[in-house]
């Protein structure tokens, strides 16, 4: 996923001849915003939590990129109230669609915020990975509920309102007239390998990173990743 976003930022910089404008919706404390600002992007972070925004301020100050990151309190449901339409070359909605009340409305808001020709990147929880994790842990009733529930949800108290599969994610993005260019897994094998294995074998971390990169785009491995990442584009005209 990191490579895909790095390539998108590089292409946007070349196309624009200027610093790419990035909108990070639900960007929290700046996990993506700080590295993107360091790479020369102008980043707006829309985040509902005041505590997360306070942490973002500290992180950007420590990194010396506070002038390149604009924090805004808000969320996907009110995005049009705090962000101008068609104002971002890259829109991030990572970990957002699982928790909003209406994912279709949220995706449309992300799409509206993207400039013509701009990209929308979404990262979502994968239903099938959640099923496998619970089945392997012996929590078979939970695995069965996740598999059969229309939203991939355990119960009303589940903080995750929905989990996705690839078909559902692609359909959701396409409904907002976004052209899906890439779907890949995130956490295909890295979430399965114990840290002790990496510590015990020289070069294991590098080998795991290379395996993850290869597996991320190959079904059926891609389809059981912990998270699903999609990159979609708003039509240029």
Q: Where residue 84 sits, what CATH number does that domain have?
A: 3.40.50.150
Rounded to whole angstroms, the Cα distance separating 211 from 218 reads: 11
Contact 91, 114 (CB under 8 A): yes
Number of domains in the chain: 1
pLDDT at 63: 96
Q: Is residue 85 situated within a structural domain?
A: yes
Q: Is residue 180 situated within a structural domain?
A: yes
Q: Is residue 145 situated within a structural domain?
A: no
Residues of the chain with pLDDT under 70: none
pLDDT at 191: 85
pTM metric for this prediction: 0.93
Q: Is residue 92 situated within a structural domain?
A: yes
pLDDT at 30: 92
pLDDT at 194: 80
**Which residue range is the domain that position 182 belongs to?**
2-126+164-233
Q: Is residue 152 situated within a structural domain?
A: no
Q: For the segment 150-164, what is each residue's pLDDT rounded down to a tens digit?
A: 999 998 889 999 999
């Amino acid at each position: 996923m990191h490579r895909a976003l790095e390539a998108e930022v590089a292409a946007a910089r070349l196309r624009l001849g200027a610093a790419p404008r990035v909108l990070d919706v639900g960007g929290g404390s700046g996990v993506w915003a700080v590295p993107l600002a360091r790479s020369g992007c102008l980043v707006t972070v829309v985040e509902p939590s005041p505590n997360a925004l306070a942490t973002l301020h500290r992180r950007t100050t420590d990194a010396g990129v506070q002038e390149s990151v604009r924090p805004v309190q808000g969320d996907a449901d009110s995005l049009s109230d705090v962000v101008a339409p068609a104002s971002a070359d890259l829109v991030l909605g990572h970990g957002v669609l699982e928790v909003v009340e209406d994912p279709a409305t949220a995706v449309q808001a992300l799409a509206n915020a993207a400039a013509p020709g701009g990209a929308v990147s979404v990262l979502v929880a994968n239903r099938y990975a959640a099923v496998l994790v619970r089945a392997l842990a012996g929590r078979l009733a939970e695995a069965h509920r996740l598999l059969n529930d229309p939203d991939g949800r355990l119960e009303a108290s589940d903080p995750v309102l929905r989990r996705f599969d690839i078909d559902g994610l692609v359909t959701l993005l396409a409904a907002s007239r976004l052209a899906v260019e890439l779907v890949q897994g995130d956490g295909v094998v890295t979430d399965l390998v114990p840290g002790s294995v990496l510590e015990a074998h020289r070069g294991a971390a590098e080998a795991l990173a290379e395996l993850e990169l290869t597996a991320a785009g190959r079904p059926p491995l891609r389809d059981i990743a912990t998270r699903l990442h999609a990159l979609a584009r708003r039509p240029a005209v």
